[in-house]
Amino acid sequence: MPKQSPKKERKAVVEETLLLNSVQRYFKLAGVVLGIWLVGYTRFSVSWLLLLLVVYVWKERHTKAKKHRTAIAQEIARDEKSVILARVEDLPSWVNFPDVERAEWINKILDQMWPYIGEYVEKILRDSVEGSVRGSLPASLSSFKFSKIDLGDIPPRVGGVKVYTQLKRDEIYMDLELNYSSDADIAVSIKGINAGIKDLRIHGTLRVVMKPLINRMPLIGGMLVFFLNNPDIDFNLTSLANAFDIPGLSDMLHSIIQEQVANFMVLPNRYPIQMVEGLDLNRLRYPQPQGVVRICVLEAKDLKKADIGLTGKGKSDPYVAVKVGAKTEKTKVVNNTVSPVWNETFEMIVDAADGQFLYMDVFDEDPGSKDDFLGRVDMDLSKLREEGFQDEWLQLEDVKTGLVHVQLTWLWLANDALELDRIIQKVSEENTEREKSHAAILMVFLDSACDLPRGKKSLSKPSPQASLSVGQQVQESLIKYNTNEPRWEQSFRFMVHNPNYQNLELELTDTKAKKPIGGTTIRLKDLLVAEDMVLDQKFHVKTSETGSYVILRLCLRVLTPNANPEWLAEEEPLIEEPDPNAKPAAGEGDSVDPPTTGNGSSVDREGGETGVAGSGGAGDAAAQEGNMAASRAGELESDVRQRKGNSVNSSGDHGLGRLQMTFRYSQQRERLIIVVHKCVNLRPVEGDSKNLADPYVKMYLLPDKSSSSKRRTKVIKDNLNPVFDETFEYPVSEAELSSRTLEISIKNEVGVFSSSKTMMGMILLDIGSLDTGKAVTEWFDLAPEERVKAVSFETEI
């Protein structure tokens, strides 16, 4: 049989298509006529028909507008040069900004790699994401799967590239203007019902951080990928999801998608990529913020008259939405005015000042409908960081009239407890009433929990969730299903008014049984005397069973407008390289036994307990009372070597042992703050049956030796390396310090009929030699009572 020519085949296809379109159009019109007849026959109100007609017309116009935008965006992706002159607003950043470079070579690489990237993404979605989503859904929705994954033929385009060079030598920052106008089509299926999205469009600035740079292949230890600010996201819905594409529901769905993207890829959230082994991925993912911006939204004037009354006079109900990264705050609404006064203060954490912007959008509130836009102000946070303070009337953009008055202050992060005293004193002198002004920021990294109790009857594993709170601020972790050893690896940040009086509360809840598991309370003032104001250790959780604990890293930083290079300390290396020249600890021959807690359990280098000797139940609770500065127990060697090379194993000049203490003077409160940390290598007490001791520390601030001057630690039973970590305060003016001496006695608690000695050693310390401008941590040698002499603080540390 002879084969038809291509021309005849195309003509047949065209005729067949025209016939199909005619049939579809006929049935659509017939359906409309039938619907109108049914409305009349059933005597329904005509208003229902009008309402449906309005919704239909709006949907058609909305769909056409979205298709038009999608077509233009796809044309730009295919042929940028021919379309770019027709749409000035879509000009890439390299046209307007001289420090942004055009990177066509990247687009050519992406175009060539896109089919392989699509296959890789599909494999990840099916092999990893699909199972994770299915496991997190209820059992009734366990049939979830990706029914279709097609990233399309149009790859993302990079409109411009900006590389930052004024950084540390082991890191590279690169900003990519990403424009993804795709023909992707992704659908999911649950119980046979399909829903999905297509024609996904994303436009925003994507930052790629490459750090640390290393001297071996692949030369980059890890990467971070994230959006500096919320990207513009749009898409079309398919199948059942298309039912959401109606007024109200469409905006709600878009805002939900925007929020989910922000929670995953917009600062402070980052997506980490590990390139080499040994990289601390959590520390790479959660670096310390660069600072905090304090925003005082004072007032506005000459705003746009959004609401026109019957009398012809205009009014508005304005409010301001302040946004930095993924966080948004709003002022109160001031009704019926175009010159509102707000006087509200917000504090926003800044993770990357270079490239991150502060957005202030002014809206007119319209309850029941979309709020009217009254203007916007964008501010480059890098300029604010350089200037430190701005007090300006700013012209609103995208509107003809309107000014907003703001005060902006850049706050640095300080690891100095004395700076906290100065900040609190300054706030007290200014008598400020701004409730949202804070003195410090607390960063909490929730690592994991261990040995959580199971169900009493079924012994089933819990599904724990952690709730952390500081004051009125409450944040919750993810739920970890069916495990008594959850691993969260999540970061939380809290603004703190005064660490001297506030606590971090942590509560664990079994979401499956809807019952509390237990919790713990951590005093923030313990961080003020910790090394670098950081605690990285295990904290015992009070539960129905003993042995449960949670691993946290707490970091406190003071918010100050003063810049000090000493506070910008060098970060610890992200990759721990083994030292080939290091000798094993056992070979050194003079290793020291690990310090122990009051119940005889040894303390590991993270500050947690590694083993328990004896019963330990009540001892554990006692050891957790007082300061949580026990993390210093694992830093014995580094602290001792501050004393002119003295050895860790030294028992002091008199062979009685040594005592470690921290001293700090608060000028604002006029108090001498003393932390008694630990003793090492105490001499066993004569007459003790176990050849040990039950030591405690007692202090008097001479010349006053009355009961009001007496301070005493708890007793640590059967221990020659006791860890106290207790804080004491003496009210004393700075002028009186020069004439004061601190008498410190290490004593052994004895019973009524015991023949053991009580005095184990003494120290007389000249408080007048203390440098009140900083906190001092030192070791002191114990001396016999008859040979004790006054000693001064070390001048060389």
Q: What is the mean pLDDT of the chain?
A: 78
| Inter-axis angle of helices 6-41 and 46-78, nearest 10 | 150
Q: Which residue has the higher pLDDT, 628 or 566?
A: 566
User: What percent of the chain is predicted at pLDDT more than 90?
Assistant: 20
User: What percent of the chain is predicted at pLDDT more than 70?
Assistant: 75
Question: In terms of Cα–Cα distance, which of 360, 365, 385, 388 is closest to 375?
Answer: 360
pLDDT of residue 578: 52
According to the per-residue pLDDT averaged within each range, which of 233-247, 412-426, 630-644 is highest? 412-426
In three-state form (DSSP H/G/I as H, E/B as E, the rest C), the secondary structure along 450-470 is: ECCCCCCCCCCCCCEEEEEEE
In three-state form (DSSP H/G/I as H, E/B as E, the rest C), the secondary structure along 129-157 is: HHHHHHHHCCHHHCCCEEEEEECCCCCCE
Rg for the chain (alpha carbons), in Å? 34
Residue 335, both tokens = 């009704």
Structural domains in the chain plus CATH codes: 92-276 (no CATH), 291-414 (2.60.40.150), 442-567 (2.60.40.150), 617-791 (2.60.40.150)
Which are the contacts of 58, defined by CB distance < 8 A and separation ≥ 6? 246, 247
pLDDT of residue 585: 41
Q: 514-542 burial by CB neighbour count: b if 16+ within 10 A, else e? A: eeebbbbebbbbbbbbbbebbbbbbbbbe
Distance, CA of 647 to CA of 669 (rounded, Å): 37
Residue 470, both tokens = 């500081």
Distance, CA of 660 to CA of 724 (rounded, Å): 10
With residue 742 as reference, give the H or E element that holds it: strand 741-748
622 pLDDT above the threshold of 60? no
According to the per-residue pLDDT averaged within each range, which of 86-95, 206-215, 638-647 is highest? 206-215
pLDDT of residue 265: 78
Tell me: the pLDDT tens digits for 257-283? 667 666 677 877 888 888 888 887 777
Q: What angle do CA 537, 538, 541 make, to 5 degrees?
A: 145
pLDDT of residue 642: 41
Distance, CA of 372 to CA of 308 (rounded, Å): 13
pLDDT of residue 173: 87
Q: pLDDT class for 43, splitting at 50, 70, 90? A: low
Residue type, 201: R
319 pLDDT above the threshold of 90? yes
pLDDT of residue 80: 66
Tell me: the pLDDT tens digits for 156-204? 888 888 888 766 778 888 888 888 888 888 888 877 777 778 888 888 8
Distance, CA of 353 to CA of 382 (rounded, Å): 5
Average pLDDT over residues 658-675: 87
The CA-to-CA distance between both ends of the chain, in Å, stands at: 101
Tell me: the pLDDT tens digits for 387-437? 999 999 999 988 888 999 999 999 999 988 888 888 888 777 665 554 567
With residue 293 as reference, give the H or E element that holds it: strand 291-301
Which are the contacts of 506, defined by CB distance < 8 A and separation ≥ 6? 466, 467, 468, 519, 520, 521, 522, 539, 541, 550, 552
Q: How many residues does the chain have?
A: 797
Residue 785, both tokens = 């009572």
521 pLDDT above the threshold of 90? yes
Q: Would residue 489 be called left, alpha or beta, if left means φ above 0 and alpha means ψ between -120 and 50 degrees?
A: left
Distance, CA of 558 to CA of 95 (rounded, Å): 41
Burial classification of residue 232, based on how many CB atoms lie within 10 Å of its CB (0-12 exposed, 13-18 middle, 19 or more buried): exposed
pLDDT of residue 645: 37
Question: In terms of Cα–Cα distance, which of 775, 772, 770 is closest to 794?
Answer: 770
Judged by average pLDDT, the poorest of 61-70, 258-267, 480-489, 544-553 is 258-267
